[in-house]
Amino acid sequence: MKYKVNLKKTEEGYAVWVPGLPGCWSQGQTEEEALDNIKDAIKGYMEAVDELSKDKECRYVEVRGHV
């Protein structure tokens, strides 16, 4: 699965966040480190979503045609 991320150079290195996943962000001293770190943040975010959705009635939908 692919996620669009935003990356910004800061005084400390790089900040990176996922606009489609509110509150999902990370950082790193290099661009490569920041992008590796956001992968872990996304995994953790999705695990938390799964846990919060546990025992709830859920459905899946597929969306095509955007980006």
What is the per-residue pLDDT across 14-52, written as a single tens digit (0 to 9) for each? 999 999 999 999 999 999 999 999 999 999 999 999 999
| Number of domains comprising the chain | 1
Report, as an integer, the average pLDDT of 55-65. 89
Residue 66: the pLDDT is 62
Q: What is the DSSP string of 20-61?
A: TSTT-EEEESSHHHHHHHHHHHHHHHHHHHHHHHTTS-----
In a domain, 1, yes or no: yes
What is the chain's alpha carbon radius of gyration, rounded to the nearest angstrom? 14
Tokens representing residue 5 in the block: 């991320």
Q: Give 18's DSSP letter.
A: -
In a domain, 23, yes or no: yes
In a domain, 22, yes or no: yes
Please give the residue range of the domain that contains residue 25.
1-31
In a domain, 37, yes or no: no
